[in-house]
Structure 1
Amino acid sequence: MSSPLDLSLLHGPIPVAATAAGVVALLFLAMRAKRTWWTRVLPLTVLGCALVVAGLAYVVDHVWKPWPEPLPAVLLGWLGAALVSLCLAVARLRAGRWYLRTLSVVAALVVVSSAVTATNAFFGQYPTMRAALEVFSNPTVDLDEAAKPGSAVLEVPAGKRLADVWRKPPDLPDKGTVSEVDIPGAFKARPAWVYLPPAYSATPRPRLPVIVLMAGQPGSPRDWHDAGRLVENMDAFARAHDGLAPVVVVPDQLGAVTANPLCLDSKLGQSETYLARDVPAWVRKRLTVDERREAWTVGGFSHGGTCSFQLAVRAPDVYGNFIDLSGQAEPTLGTREETVKAAFAGDEAAFLRVNPLDVLARERFPHTAGVIVVGLGDPGFREANALVLEVCRKAGMDVVRHELPGGHDWNVWRAGLYEHALPWLAARTGLSR
């Protein structure tokens, strides 16, 4: 442990202490000697806040519907607690001595902080305070500088793997680089993030495998840097493999934080063309990579996991491998009817032509492999992943599935990618012997 900033926000004393402090602070705010406080102010405040939270949940889940899954009960519970604490603090400001009013404000802030900490622990978003603070930093370097054309390329003889012929140069950097860059194409996407491992700076430069990695929805490509800890985990993998690691490109498959074009070509946008053609073409033109389909992997979590499964089926000539972290069985905006209506103007036959489950039922994919990961506490997605596994295997794919402790959260997705999928992928793409 090098600094207090590296203490865990997900396990151990910090989340426990935050929860305990929040409970104590909320009890303090609820306690007053006045009879009218107990008969009018407190019950009306709790009832009003409960109605606000219930109304918000209804609007988000049934009216707005920015994502298919309902808001988690834990999130709603802590939102209600934070709202009650703020309302009670305001009510207590109207009377009492100055130090009690000050304590009321402090107590409300404690409850809000506890809610934020508990929500973060539930989703596993930021494992440490250092990770949370990095949201405000700009760690990128210019891609033109990081990806200067190499003077020579390391050739791998037939029958050999990259790990067999690679020799780490003595002056190789210990860390890779990450860049933010626009990738043009048929879809109006936000900037992508590109990770280049230490080996990319070597001369001769090896042709490295590629991972096209996607975030969930709501989300953005930077999520894999902040919450996914992409750079530190890829650098750790590279240190264990003499500087070798995949080139990782994190494009935007959404177009906006809460948008959902379904990773399809439809009324909602040309997301599939962008991810299956435009992004790979840009990578091959701009970077020195292994161009064989066996060296290309598409992956992601939640919406990105669903998208990776789709692209493995819809673009098998590009992606030989896929990593589905807590994805769904098919692209969805909530129900099949809602999805078909929004994306295909009610034409279900058009949806069935591109839906991966239906494609797998009529075609075989003996040269595609994949890893499926899901949390043990994620029942709906466990069922979806089990179905995906069954259908993929029937279509001839070489697919493995892991169930990990956790729910629909970053605790599962980080472990799924770095501890399970990456070693498997390294063995398939020649990064390890």
Structure 2
Amino acid sequence: MTVDPMPPPLPVRSVLDLPLVDGALPLAISVAGVVAAVFLAWPRGRRWHRPAALVVAGAALVPAVAAVVLNVLWRPTPDVLPARLFVWSGVALAAVLAGAVAARRGRRMTRLFVVPAVLLVLATSGVKVNAIYGYYPTPRPLLGLADPNALDPARVPHRTGTAVAPVRWVPPPDLPARGAVLDLRVPAPVSGFAARPAVVYLPPAALVAGAPRLPVLVLIAGQPGGPRDWLTAGRLAAVLDVFAASHHGLAPVVVVPDATGGTFANPLCVDSPRGAVETYLRRDVPDWIRARFDVDPDPRHWTIGGFSYGGTCALQLAVRAPEVYPALLDVGGQDEPSLGTRAETVRALFGGDDARFRAVNPADLLRTRRYDGVSGTVVVGSAEGDDVGRAARLVDLARSSGMQVRHLVLPGGHSWAVATAALQLTLPDLAARTGLLPTAPR
């Protein structure tokens, strides 16, 4: 297995942009947490063995029960939650229980340090859990602060129908330094799908008079989750701003529609009793984008992408509707839509009819149809275990169907850090394929 290098880190413009997944800040928190854990675990009194045993038992039992509930009984996501998640949850619980013991049995001076020590261990556990998925890449989303690219929807330029191709566009002197992010509802007149608001990124070139006709990138978030995950966890605006700054404000228009209908909903990106998601993504969303923005209407300049559930969804749309999305970005997706096992999936969403499932299953379609002219990138984290081999087999299958597929194995696991890196690495290829080339001022 060859592991590809990660792209350069995104710029740090303030303390709110410091990395929380790796780097100096999480390391400092972890070191402080270890010291605090030693303080909380230090023996106090002669009969400290009994409360210590209760702390250990509670910290082990509760996460074990949670693991059974979440991974066996409830299964809110088809992906099995990793053991590290429950281990660090147990560490956090142990800190709270040990803190309670220390506050009761310790001396007065000791009690003054109990609360700060517990908070440091909780912070360390939070950093370690966050490192699994990279959901909070910086302090900004963790603190719930507004995105610096946020824009009032009323100020978004409307479609004029007079936009020119990017190669003929000349950047004006008042070109903004950043793109804009906004939340907009995408109507669903064809599908009737009850979707949450979509996230839209407009590059600097789309925010000025005489804006060029730009290509489109449709991104799908994971499950559980929602459209804003690509903005907060995936650092969508930061990645696109860096790209646009190097290309005279040019970048794709990015739309992140809702593809589930709820945080824990899982309609598998197909039309089913859980909602007509496929019709929404292949009819309603593209129609709305073309009507609302001055984008390139040529479907050859459109890309569908996503992370985890979104990666699987992107693959499904590319093989089910290549006339709409002839290019894809699949980051950490599965080789088939799944609610856990194929039997469970077929029974729950396809009425037990395996033929109906095969009609929408990418692997089956890739074996029976040709996809000449379809291109894409399949990305997987090097620490994703069996999914690394599964992604490689999917790439081979896609290539045998005529697809032109780039395969990337990036350092890391099933995390948003890998998704962010994949987006960074994919943008140059997207620009080359869609004719989105920089034009120097005359």
Indicate the SS of the match to 1:85: helix
Confirm whether residue 170 of structure 1 aligns to residue 173 of structure 2.
Answer: yes
Q: Is the 8 A contact 1:135 1:226 kept in 2?
A: no
Alignment of structure 1 residues 213-252 onto 2, 5 Å: 213-252=219-258
Quote the residue 1:210 is aligned against. 216
The reply on whether 1:102 has 2:108 as its aligned counterpart is no
**Residues 353-411 of structure 1: CA deviation (Å, up to 9, x unaligned):** 11111111111110111011111111232122112211111111111111111111122
Q: Write the distance in 2 (CA, Å) between the matches of 1:137 and 1:243.
A: 19
Q: Give the whole-Å Cα distance in 1 for the aligned partners of 2:266 and 2:97.
A: 35
Normalised by the length of structure 2, the TM-score is 0.91
Moved more, 353-362 or 139-148: 139-148
Give the distance between the partners of 1:304 and 1:267, measured in 2 at CA.
20
1:357-376, aligned counterparts within 5 Å? Answer: 357-376=363-382
- CA gap 1:364/1:355 in 2 versus in 1, 3 angstroms: same
Which structure: greater helix fraction?
Answer: 1
Where does residue 45 of structure 1 map in the other structure?
55
Structure 1 unaligned regions, length at least 5: 157-161
Shift of 1:108: 1.1
Inter-partner Cα distance in structure 2 for 1:99 and 1:35:
19
Mapped contact 1:311–1:319 kept (Cα < 8 A): yes
Superposition RMSD in Å? 1.8
What is residue 12 of structure 1 aligned with on the other side?
Answer: 23
CA deviations on 1:234-267 (whole Å, 9 max, x unpaired) are 1221111111110000001111111111001112
Q: How far apart, in 2, do the equivalents of 1:37 and 1:73 lie?
A: 29
2:207 and 2:325 map into 1 onto residues whose CA distance is: 25
For residue 143 of structure 1, report the CA deviation from its aligned partner: 2.9
> Does 1:86 find its partner at 2:91?
no
- TM-score of the aligned structures, taking structure 1 as reference length: 0.93
Q: Does 2:143 align with 1:133?
A: yes
The one of 419, 423, 428 equivalent to 1:423 is: 428
Is 1:54 the counterpart of 2:57? The answer is: no
1:112 Cα offset (Å): 0.4
SS of the residue corresponding to residue 207 of structure 1 reads: coil
Residues 1:333 and 2:339 are matched in the alignment = yes
> Are positions 1:260 and 2:303 aligned together?
no
1:23 maps onto 2:64 in alignment: no
Alignment match of 2:186 (pick from 168, 180, 183): 183
Greater shift in the superposed pair: 385-394 or 58-67:
385-394
- SS of corresponding position for 2:113: helix
1:263-286 C-alpha deviation (Å, 9 max, x unpaired)? 011122211111111111111111
The one-letter code sitting in structure 1 at the alignment partner of 2:388 is R
> Secondary structure of the residue that 2:314 maps to in structure 1?
helix
Is the 2:299–2:324 Cα contact (8 Å) retained in structure 1? yes
Distance 1:2 1:138, change over 3 A: closer
Percent same amino acid among aligned pairs?
Answer: 48
Distance 2:367 2:274 in 1: 26
1:297 aligns with 2:303: yes
CA contact (8 A) 1:364 1:395 kept: yes
Partner of 1:67: 77
Matched letter for residue 176 of structure 1: G
Could you say which residue in structure 2 is the equivalent of 1:410?
416
| Alignment: residue pair count | 424
Question: Compared with structure 1, are the counterparts of its residues 169 and 130 closer, same or farther at alpha carbon in structure 2 (3 Å cutoff)?
Answer: same
Letter in 1 for 2:23: G
- CA–CA distance in 1 between the matches of 2:345 and 2:161? 49
Q: What is the CA-CA distance between 1:430 and the residue it aligns to? A: 0.5
The structural deviation recorded for 1:151 is: 7.2
Counterpart AA for 1:414: T
Code of the residue aligned with 2:44 in structure 1: it is: A
Q: Residue 224 of structure 1 contacts residue 230 of structure 1 at CA under 8 Å; is this kept in 2?
A: yes
What amino acid does structure 2 have at the position aligned with 1:287?
A: F
Please name the residue that 1:350 is paired with: 356
* 1:282-333 alpha-carbon deviations (Å, 9 max, x no partner): 1111111111111110001111001000000111111011000111101001
Give the corresponding residue for 1:145.
Answer: 155
Moved over 6 A (4+): none
Contact map agreement 2:159 2:291 (CA 8 A) in 1 = no
Corresponding residue number in structure 1 for 2:133: 123
Q: Deviations over 1:135-158 (max 9, x none)?
A: 45685323342122337321x4xx
Deviates more, 1:277-286 or 1:9-18: 9-18
Counterpart contact for 2:44–2:106, Cα < 8 Å? no
Q: Is 1:275 equivalent to 2:281 in the alignment? A: yes
Deviations 1:69-114 (A, max 9, x none): 1212222111100001101112233333333223222211111011
Question: Do the aligned residues in 1 keep the contact of 2:149 with 2:178 (CA within 8 Å)?
Answer: no
Q: Partners in 2 of 1:15 and 1:176 — Cα distance?
A: 29
Do the aligned partners of residues 3 and 356 (structure 1) sit closer, same or farther apart at CA in structure 2, a change above 3 Å counting? closer
Structure 2: which 5+ runs fail to align?
1-11
TM-fit CA distance, 1:171: 2.1
Q: Is the 8 A contact 2:17 2:139 kept in 1?
A: yes
| Correspondence 1:314-325 to 2 at 5 A | 314-325=320-331
